[in-house]
Structure 1
Amino acid sequence: MLKLLVFSAYIALHSATSLSTPSSPTVLPRVRSFQGFLVTSEPIDYGDSSEDTGLAVPKPKFNVTKEVKEYLTGPLLTVFVPSIYTLVFIISIPLNTAAILLFIGKIRPSKPAGIYMINLAVADLLFVSLLSFRISYHFNGNDWVFGSAMCRIVTSAFFLNMYCSILLIMCISVDRYVAVVYPIKSLMWRSPLKAAAACGLMWFLASVGVTPLLMSKQDLHLTLNITTCHDVLDVNQMKAFYVYFFTIFTSIFFFVPLIVTTFCYVRIIHTLCSTSTVKHSKRTRAIVMAVIVLIIFVACFAPTNVVLFTHYLQFTRGSSEQSYMAYLLSVCIGSINCCLDPLIYYFGSSQCQKQVAGILRCKAAADRRRASEYTSSSKMDTFQNSQLATAHRSTGHKAGWDASARQY
């Protein structure tokens, strides 16, 4: 029995040693990002000296494939992607800011729909605000210069706001479905308190979902003398957890909302088409808006998450790096959703249009009042000027007669 225990311990120790040896053959599965391989045969840069031992602390470098090097230094990631992000940043910041100010100052979201929309505007605004870091990162040749902690914070917050937007759009679709399909019962179901609680739950779920990104190292120093943020991960450290994590993550935070949102808007469109109690113009407008919202949701978010999910499913068959490059491009194009949300949810809503029309009518009335006052003032000035001219001429004539009398 003692011999058996000793032999088992030897086998376990030998297996652990062989797994940790760099020369041992291992199968490296694909993960969410490009693959990074720790360099062992090339010179390693050294960082600051350790205060305790006085020895140099090694700063490991990671190598990538030739295909990844072309992606990281090519024009798609260093020119096209940051250019699209810059355009989205310039357009989306004022639109979402105006939407938030409009809701707070004029509309005052006291209804469930308004509460959902202002939370969506906040999520989109936070998402776009983080684009400034990614714009600098990509324009700088995919070299992250803001530190390891900021890389984790920006990466987790980036995905937090993106997937929170998806969850909030799902909540809006459910709220509209209940209001249209069950108009009487919805009076009991829908309330501002329930809407606020639902928004809080969506923020909480999205925060919990991205916690692993916040807790794990996201930056790697490559032999290209650049430090990537999230785009290259060490497959030896990430292969076991992240493959399963992101597959489950995309299923919960996209495919479930996609099914719910699609079902709700299809039922809304069917109900509006079959009803005859609403005016034709209003019914047509509601149907068109529902179709547009569904199309934009699918077009902006489906490519990103389908490519991501497929990227994971193919890792056992050795998928190429092209799938992650397609993912980066689809995330970039999908960010345009932040520019479209204010237009279809806020400025496209009838309540907002009434408020804007009221503001414009007030402004037009004020302009007409100022114009009328200016016209009246101009007429008064003209009358006064004419009276002064008459008086001046009379005074001039009297002075002339006095001068003539003095002369004679």
Structure 2
Amino acid sequence: MNNICLDINPQLEKYYLPTMYAIEFLLGLVGNLSVIWGYIFCLKEWKCSNIYLFNLSVTDLTFICTLPMLVVYYAKGNKWDFGDTMCTLNRYILHANMYISILFLTCISIDRYLLVVSPVKLHRFQKRWNAVVICLSIWVFVTLELVPLFIFIDVQAIGNKSSFHCLDYASSGNPSQSLIYSICLTVSGYLLPLCVMFFFYIQTARSLKKIMQQRTKVQVEKPLTLVILAIVIFLIFFTPYHIMRNVRIASRVESSTMSECSKLAVKALYAITRPIAFLNSITNPIFYFMLGDRFREQFFSKLRSIFLRKPEVTNQNEERSIRSTG
């Protein structure tokens, strides 16, 4: 039976993973740097939602900067040349980005709901100082939540110990213990925030539909579309990864009844879902920055003022020289 098993994992790790991570690095770097630059130099008044979005972009950019190491690692045939400490730190940042992003997206869903329901009233959740405290609390909470990762991540030396195998979380550590932790992490880091996000986005959609039924002049089609897209993208990116991560760990348990072919298939599916889970680092700048009309106008207005400044000065000098000669 083993002879007829199709193992595509070496091809996925050598071609698929480095390609996907390279694309995410290039697009995510441009998008998140643009967002951060825009917030620092274009935004005059910071609101609660801006603080959440700025922290989301900083989190995404931190993760994006670790991707070149993964690209080199998989392209070289699973050879890690950056030291065992960087391996563990890289895997930690990868997971921290995911769960911090999920919590920031949850905060944004709450903020949007409050903005739609009572746009005039300022709730405690929407005050800037409270938003700063919430952001700091999220960073601390996720950091403590991921401390066990430092135990489960395996770094295996190769040959003369100049290179290592930097195994991903689901493929390393004691699978029995790791499975318990992974399920707890899935519930606390993904399912609970997902339920909160679902609730507030559904309430937001209902409120927008009520506004639409009242035939007011307020345009609600775009906010309603963004609500639906946010939920769909959230489910597409994060759900397959969390399912396959737990299945992958379960397949490694000694008491598992899976055949070798099934285990290889599970490993392949898990590898496919990993880069997909981090595509949110590319889409976040699009859905939470570029679709904001007012801020988009400020952003491009700032760019035009930068790139058109020199030609204007040149034209003025030419006019002066013509007048002087005339």
TM normalised by structure 1 equals 0.68
- Matches of 2:115 and 2:198 in 1, distance apart? 16
Partner of 1:293: 230
1:306 deviates by: 2.2
Instruction: Answer yes or no: is 1:279 the counterpart of 2:217.
Output: yes
- Consecutive unaligned residues in structure 2, runs of 5 or more: none
Q: Which residue of 2 aligns with 1:318?
A: 257
| Residue 355 to residue 68, structure 1, CA distance change in 2 (3 Å) | farther
Structure 1 unaligned runs (5+)? 1-64, 385-408
Return the match for 1:230 from 167, 175, 179.
167
Q: Which has the higher contact order (CA 8 A, sep 6+)?
A: 2
Determine if contact 2:170/2:249 at 8 Å carries over to the other structure: no
Equivalent-residue separation in structure 2 for 1:133 and 1:120 (angstroms) = 22
Q: Secondary structure in 2 aligned to 1:228? A: strand
Check whether the contact 1:170–1:261 (CA below 8 A) recurs between aligned residues.
yes
1:111-155 deviation digits (Å, cap 9, x = unpaired): 110100010001100111111111111001012222222221111
Pair 306,274 (structure 1): closer, same or farther in 2 beyond 3 Å: same
SS in structure 1 of the partner of residue 148 of structure 2: helix
214 and 182 in structure 1: CA distance in 2 versus 1, 3 angstrom threshold: same
Determine the structure 2 residue equivalent to 1:308.
Answer: 245
Aligned pair partner of 2:84 in 135, 148, 157: 148
Mapping of residues 105-120 of structure 1, within 5 Å? 105-108=41-44, 110-120=46-56
Q: Does 1:354 align with 2:297?
A: yes
Shift of 1:208: 1.2
Change (3 A) 1:104 1:313: same
More helix by share: 2
One of 266, 270, 273 as aligned partner of 1:330: 273
Show the counterpart of 1:56: none
Q: Which residue of 2 aligns with 1:100?
A: 36
CA distance in 1, matches of 2:58, 2:193: 19
* Corresponding pairs, count: 315
- State the partner residue of 2:184: 248
The question of 1:190 aligning with 2:126 is answered: yes
Q: 1:370 to 1:144 in 2, by over 3 A?
A: closer
Q: Please tell me whether the aligned partners of residues 148 and 217 of structure 1 are also in contact (alpha carbons under 8 angstroms).
A: no
Cα RMSD of the aligned pairs, angstroms, is 3.2
Distance 1:190 1:305, change over 3 A: same
Calculate the TM-score normalised by the size of structure 2: 0.84
Contact 1:177 1:268 in 2 (8 A): yes
Q: Secondary structure at the match of 1:241?
A: helix
Q: Aligned partners of 1:97 and 1:136: how far apart in 2?
A: 23
**CA contact 1:219–1:232 (8 Å) conserved in 2:** no
Q: Secondary structure at the match of 1:145?
A: coil
CA distance in 2, matches of 1:169, 1:186: 20
* 1:220 to 2:163 alignment: no
CA distances 1:361-408 after superposition (whole Å, capped 9, x unpaired): 646985785476366346536x63xxxxxxxxxxxxxxxxxxxxxxxx
In 2: Cα distance, 1:278 partner to 1:104 partner: 35
The sequence identity of aligned pairs, in percent, is: 22
TM superposition shift of 1:303: 1.4
Indicate conservation of the 8 Å contact 1:67/1:321, yes or no.
no
What SS is found at the alignment partner of 1:107? Answer: coil
Equivalent residues of 2:81, 2:164 under 8 A apart: yes
Using the alignment, how far apart are the partners of 1:165 and 1:88 within structure 2? 16
Residue identity in the other structure for 1:324: K
Contact 2:14–2:75 (Cα < 8 Å) also in 1: yes
Partner residue, 1:13: none
Distance 1:169 1:234, change over 3 A: closer
Q: Find 2:58's aligned residue among 102, 109, 122.
A: 122
Whole-Å separation in 2 of the counterparts to 1:374 and 1:269: 55
